Structure 1
């Protein structure tokens, strides 16, 4: 997923124009009965928000997300496996339950703010949507 999106911002689009890489990079995880589905998104910077270039790759789309309320938990280090992310989501869910909050268990977001080659003081987040 990352490579396709990276190609888009590096000029594989209708304007053949490079776009600035914006943080965070989000991966929406939708729970399925047999398997989860994943959709990765890069944010488009202010200079292209009103009229982003059309992706040249048919598997890359422009998505406008509605405003939503999320609960988040910040996590450092590298989270490489699904189990790592799911463990953090479970921890956040337990904290929210203890506080009387309810969240959707249909979707969650795995969020990264740092380049892959940043080794220290990494910032990742798990987002759960308020029910």
Structure 2
């Protein structure tokens, strides 16, 4: 008989693979984080057509690496449970329960298909986070990040991941925005049980000045 984590994973897989009535490529703008959940907040620098320019402060994370040829969804599932054990099942040197934060962030290395998936360390633990007790889990810090981000709704399948990243890249090429090659990020803000108002993002790191061309304003309609 399946245990609770296995049942949850099976449901997560089924939902991701089958989707739901919400169009997974629909551009929506639900709040980035649910009330009561600590979020990786940013400064909005600019808005382009199809993306935003953002500046994130230095931050602390717990992460894990998957480099076995998996695509994004399979790697994310595997990574999620490693990190879940760290924050909720006491797989750390204090056996501490640590609040979940948003988003779940994945760093994708495009040359070799490796993924690193991260949970942000909450503010209460940031100065002295519990050390992981599983070898596959590690603590790390990020410097300030300047990103171009594209957000969208629905479920993050492998096809959606690829199509949304392509859409971001096309918009950045059109606007001649330079980005760091060979790596991108995927951010997810919802649990698998949240069927509606889902928010996902793909990011590229800015190379050089973070800026967006002005988005033309619609002309006022004549009465």
Please report the TM-score for the alignment, with normalisation by the length of structure 2.
0.56
Q: Number of aligned pairs?
A: 128
- Secondary structure, aligned partner of 2:182: strand
Indicate the residue corresponding to 1:105 in structure 2: 181
Indicate the residue corresponding to 1:15 in structure 2: 94
The alignment's C-alpha RMSD in Å is 0.9
User: Which of the two has higher C-alpha Rg?
Assistant: 2
CA distance in 1, matches of 2:154, 2:141: 29
Q: CA deviation at 1:105?
A: 2.8
Q: Following TM superposition, where does structure 1 have runs of at least 4 consecutive aligned residues deviating by more than 2 angstroms?
A: none
- Structure 2: gaps (5+ residues): 1-78, 208-223
CA distance in 2, matches of 1:49, 1:80: 32
CA distance in 1, matches of 2:140, 2:149: 22
- Secondary structure, aligned partner of 1:38: strand
Please report the TM-score for the alignment, with normalisation by the length of structure 1.
0.94
Matching of residue 96 in structure 1 with residue 165 in structure 2: no
- The match for 1:36 among 101, 113, 116 is 113
CA distance in 1, matches of 2:180, 2:85: 32
Report 1:1-131 matches (<5 A). 1-10=79-88, 11-32=90-111, 35-81=112-158, 83-131=159-207
TM-superposition CA deviations, 1:53-88 (whole Å, max 9, x none)? 00010110001011120000001000121x321210
